[in-house]
Amino acid sequence: MSVIGTWDVSMKTPIGTITAVYTFTRDSSGIRGEARSKAETVPLEDIAVEIGEEGAERVRWRQRVSKPMRLNLDFDVTIAGDEMTGVSRAGRLPRTQVTGTRIVP
């Protein structure tokens, strides 16, 4: 699975660009993950991976953050090699563009 590893991720939000380090690992229970920002570290929930066209992976997950405000976020990204692109969404708020680069395989 190409999502496994550590990623530098940026999210362009209405309040500015937010950066975090995402780590995805695999164990006997499946894929696990966490997001670490300056403000907090949170677990990723409901991680799902689908193999798409030309070997790219579509990865979806949910996470709850409390800083800078309490939000439940849904992510939908595509992994191609060492690049991540996609969107996140918090309820009825507009989608946020997400980009990332693998920093550790």
Distance from C-alpha of 67 to C-alpha of 81, rounded to nearest angstrom: 30
- Could you read off the pLDDT of 73-92 as tens digits, one per residue? 999 999 999 999 999 999 88
> What does the alpha-carbon distance between residue 73 and residue 88 come to, in Å, rounded to a whole number?
6
Burial of 84 per CB tally in 10 Å (0-12, 13-18, 19+):
buried
Name the CATH superfamily for 5-104: Quinohemoprotein amine dehydrogenase alpha subunit, domain 2 (2.40.128.120)
- The residue ranges of every structural domain in the chain are 5-104
pTM, two decimals, is 0.91
Q: What does the pLDDT look like over 12-33, one tens digit per residue?
A: 988 889 999 999 999 998 999 9
